[in-house]
Amino acid sequence: MTPEQPKRRIALFGSTGSIGTQALEVIAANPDKFSAEILTAHSNEELLIEQALKFQPNIVVIGDEKKYEKVKKELSSTDVKVFAGEKALEETAAIDCYDLMLAGIVGYAGLRPTLKAISIGKPVALANKETLVVAGDIVMRKAVENRVPVIPVDSEHSAIFQCLVGETRNKIEKVILTASGGPFLGRKPNYLVNVKREHALQHPNWSMGAKITIDSATLMNKGLEMIEAKWLFNLKPEQIQVLVHPQSIIHSMVQFEDGSIKAQMGLPDMKLPIQYALAFPKRIPNQFPRYDFKKVSTLTFEEPDIRTFRNLALAIEALNKGGNLPSIMNAANEIAVYAFLRNRINFLDMTDVIEKTMQKISYIERPTLEEYYESDGEARTFAADMIKL
């Protein structure tokens, strides 16, 4: 992107979230390189209005239809088009007015708009890992068919992606996904049974949305990321290793056939992988704080404790078995996290909900997209009934 090149127009799906607001910081810091073309929010209309007034996008979408009138009224003095409702998300993704989608919606809700962007040939910067957990084979196949790049935003996958630049002809022996271990690293079940929502929401290294913060505390996040890595980098389950690295300086590593290991490092700050994905293949300068080897001079590594953090063991089972099992697990996890965040179940109950749902819902080895949608719905209903939501 030289000064003569046009700005990259970004469709920011999930603009009011942790990823979305950080992406807008990157866009605001580089007004000659990026513009916000589409902004979408689920229910935070106040922030969406504020963002629209500042960034003057072409389109905003508010998921909650009850809030349409308010958003419309507040933006009536601008040229911003306002749409509302779940369907409008997909329809807006299909409009040929942007250059890159940043998929920053949380959970299963991100799948359809992302698939739509890919189907009309738009590159995707993917934060929404659940998209690949639910239907990774179909999403990546469509991306290849349409020659659409899927650029990871998740810090571990961005690290792997960066390690692979210039290595297209070289085989990967394995990837090593690093994990901070979350706030309960080293704890045992007798401690975990009593942890409360507020405690689980305190992540030691990263500030993120509520759902991924709970997933980090249970280690489900790392399980989702193993499945995400499988699809992004076309790996076999045995090529994906998880290593706990509490300092979160090495964001992940790739080991090649000659035994050489490449790592990508930096301070834990999501703005870096977001900026990398938005500007890819260029690196652009910024003022983010730099990692200083003298300040954090000890980097440590340990095995994850999957006996205690059983969600990771369940995710490894889903990764190995494939089919619709990851989508069933993902749906049950979304329900379980929702219930935990509302103090309806305790920390360890989340694992039981996921495990029982995985046992109950019928396994399909090669599901169609429709069957993935159905498995998601069945798993949600079963999990919600189990905890009487």
- What residue ranges bind Mg ion (CB under 5 A)? 154-156
Of the pair 87, 236, the CB lying nearest ligand NAD is at: 87
What string of DSSP letters covers 120-185?
TT--EEE--THHHHHHHHHHHHHHHHTT--EEE-SHHHHHHHHHHTT-TTSPEEEEEEEE---TTT
Closest contact distance (angstroms) between CB of 318 and ligand NAD is: 16
Nearer to ligand NAD, 154 or 376 (CB): 154
Residue nearer to ligand NAD on the CB measure, 170 or 216: 216
Burial of 5 (0-12, 13-18, 19+ CB in 10 A): exposed
- When asked if residue 125 is in the footprint of ligand NAD (CB under 6 A), the reply is no
Q: Classify residue 150 by burial, with Cβ atoms within 10 Å: 0-12, 13-18, 19+.
A: buried
Question: Residue 48 Cβ, how far from ligand NAD at the closest point, in Å?
Answer: 8
Q: Which of 105, 135, 148, 329: binder of ligand NAD (CB under 6 A)?
A: 105
Q: How far is the CB of 105 from ligand NAD (least distance, A)?
A: 4
**Least Å distance between CB 276 and ligand NAD?**
13
Task: Provide the pairing of β-strand 250-256 with 172-179.
Answer: antiparallel
Q: Which two tokens stand for residue 93?
A: 């993704």
**Residue 68 vs 206, nearer CB to ligand NAD:** 206
Report if residue 206 touches ligand NAD, rule: CB under 6 A: yes
E-only strand ranges, the chain: 8-13, 34-41, 59-62, 81-84, 100-103, 124-126, 150-152, 172-179, 240-244, 250-256, 261-265
Please, which residue, 228 or 378, has the CB nearer to Mg ion?
228
The two three-digit tokens of residue 168, written as one number: 């297209």
Binding residue for ligand NAD, selected from 85, 149, 183, 209, defined by CB under 6 A: 209
State in angstroms the smallest separation of the CB of 277 from ligand NAD. Answer: 11
136 binds ligand NAD (CB under 6 A): no
Q: Binding to ligand NAD by residue 109, rule CB under 6 A?
A: yes
Residue with tokens 């700005």: 7
Output the six-digit token pair for 103: 């998929």
Three-state SS for 387?
coil
Say which entry of ligand NAD, Mg ion, none residue 248 contacts (CB below 5 to 8 A, set by partner kind).
none
Please state the closest distance from residue 228 (CB atom) to ligand NAD, in A. 9
Q: How far is the CB of 153 from ligand NAD (least distance, A)?
A: 6
Binders of ligand NAD in range 23-52 (CB under 6 A)? 41-42, 44
Dihedral (CA of 183, 15, 117, 145) sign: negative
Q: Is 17 a binder of ligand NAD (CB under 6 A)?
A: yes
Would you count residue 270 as binding ligand NAD (CB under 6 A)? yes
- Tell whether residue 106 is a contact of ligand NAD (CB under 6 A): yes
Give CA separation, 240 vs 9, 162, 165, 185, 330, in Å. 34, 17, 19, 21, 19
CA distance 41 to 32: 25
Q: Which of residues 146-165 bind ligand NAD (CB under 6 A)?
A: 154
The size of the interface with ligand NAD (CB under 6 A), counted in residues, is 28
Q: Which of residues 79-98 bind ligand NAD (CB under 6 A)?
A: 89
215 to 67, 84, 120, 219, 258: CA distances (angstroms): 29, 29, 32, 6, 34
Closest to Mg ion by CB, 85 or 183: 183
What does 18 interact with, of Mg ion, ligand NAD, none (CB < 5 to 8 A by kind)?
A: ligand NAD
Closer residue to ligand NAD, CB minimum distance, 8 or 211: 211
For helices 111-119 and 130-145, the axis angle rounded to 10 degrees is: 10
- Distance of closest approach, residue 274 Cβ to ligand NAD, in angstroms: 9
Nearer to Mg ion, 208 or 329 (CB): 208
CB 145 to Mg ion: min, Å: 27
Binding interface with ligand NAD (CB under 6 A) = 14-20, 41-42, 44, 63, 89, 104-106, 109, 127-130, 154, 206, 208-212, 270
